[in-house]
Amino acid sequence: MSPSWRLYERLLFDEDLRAAFARDRESVLHEHGLAEVERARFRQMSLSGLAADAEGRRRYLMAALCRPYPLSAAAIGAGDPRALSRFLASPALFAPLAERSARFGDHLSGLLDALEDQLPEAAGGLIRAVLSVERAMVDNAAALRDAAGRGEAPSPPSPPSSAQLKRGHLRLPPYLLVAELPAPTELIRAALGGVGPEDVFPRLEAGQVSRDRLITVARADEQPVTVICRGVVVGQSHERAGAGGLSPLVEVKHLRVELGGRQAPLLRALQAEPTLKDLPPAREALMRRLVEAGVVELSR
């Protein structure tokens, strides 16, 4: 990457550097060691055009970065969405997609640490639990994409046959996440105004997200749930990359079920790989539901 392009990227994503460039172009150009012909181009650059380009890219990138973290980004960015955007000035912005998404999760965690004195303890704990689940799903998706790149990703689950339901042994599939939250996800989402992956950052910027109702949920009696997520590859393709090459695209989704209460011990019991008929009727019905949802497997 040329020094001039590197500087332009920094001007797009670093608000402080862009402000310094507006005040004193020559100092910024000198600090970045540009040749005279390159300096001439930057001297002629329109500040309003640079600002418009930077703003468009900022909104696009922030919408993409917040997509895997809809609830935690909404809770942490409410009242100050620009704090989320400070991530764009970090070198991690130019890292590969999986690393960039993980580092943005670290950025959210750091912002939550900074909010500690402003939030009731219960609210901070609730947000951190949600962030932990969303970050685990980001890491799980990255692991699945790596496996797909090696040709080792497991096939998506298929409906069990009648023979499997009769004789198959229950087992936990690969790329399964189990976590507990102090409140149901849909209650948390409703408290944040119904935000979702596609609209979280635009709604934050529009001032449409508040933490007030979330704090009320956090202060109420706990309604613990167990979140069960299974990552699966649902599509693979390629896009055109530089120098005429092809870059792989792996689409990952998480099959998800929430059970009321703290149900992790129930799932740990599957390490013995029982059959459905080995279980009491109520537990058999629950396990059938989890098998149908694809988050528990039956051996063939």
Cα–Cα distances in angstroms (integers) from residue 25 to residues 7, 18, 29, 42, 55, in the given order: 12, 9, 6, 8, 20
Give CA–CA dist 278/274, Å, rounded.
6
Q: In this predicted structure, what is the pLDDT of residue 106? A: 97
Cα–Cα distances in angstroms (integers) from residue 263 to residues 267, 269, 277, in the given order: 7, 10, 20
Q: In this predicted structure, what is the pLDDT of residue 212? A: 96
Q: Which two tokens stand for residue 55?
A: 């703003």
Q: In this predicted structure, what is the pLDDT of residue 239? A: 54
Cα–Cα distances in angstroms (integers) from residue 196 to residues 79, 227, 253, in the given order: 17, 18, 15
**230-254 per-position pLDDT tens digit:** 999 988 775 554 444 445 689 999 9
Q: In this predicted structure, what is the pLDDT of residue 238? A: 57
Q: Which two tokens stand for residue 276?
A: 């459905």
Contacts of 79 (CB under 8 A, 6+ apart): 210, 211
Q: In this predicted structure, what is the pLDDT of residue 291? A: 95
**11-53 per-position pLDDT tens digit:** 887 888 888 888 988 888 888 888 888 888 888 888 888 888 8
Q: In this predicted structure, what is the pLDDT of residue 29? A: 87
Query: DSSP letter string over 47-74?
Result: HHHHHHHHHHHHHHHHHHHHTT-HHHHH
Give CA–CA dist 142/84, Å, rounded.
22
Give CA–CA dist 182/151, Å, rounded.
38
Give CA–CA dist 128/76, Å, rounded.
10
Yes or no: say if 226 and 180 are a contact pair by the CB < 8 Å rule.
Answer: yes
Give CA–CA dist 4/2, Å, rounded.
5
Q: In this predicted structure, what is the pLDDT of residue 44? A: 86
Q: Which two tokens stand for residue 176?
A: 């399964």
Yes or no: say if 91 and 9 are a contact pair by the CB < 8 Å rule.
Answer: no
Give CA–CA dist 217/224, Å, rounded.
12
Give CA–CA dist 58/229, Å, rounded.
31
* Residue of 281, 278, 275, 280 lying closest to 160 (CA atoms): 275
Q: In this predicted structure, what is the pLDDT of residue 76? A: 98
Q: In this predicted structure, what is the pLDDT of residue 247? A: 55
What is the distance, to the nearest Å, from the Cα of residue 65 to the centroid of all Cα atoms in its chain? 7
| No. of helices (H) and no. of strands (E), the chain | 15, 5
Q: Which two tokens stand for residue 269?
A: 């019991």
Q: How many CB atoms lie within 10 A of CB 231?
A: 25
Q: Within the chain, which residues score under 50 in pLDDT?
A: 241-246
Give CA–CA dist 295/70, Å, rounded.
22
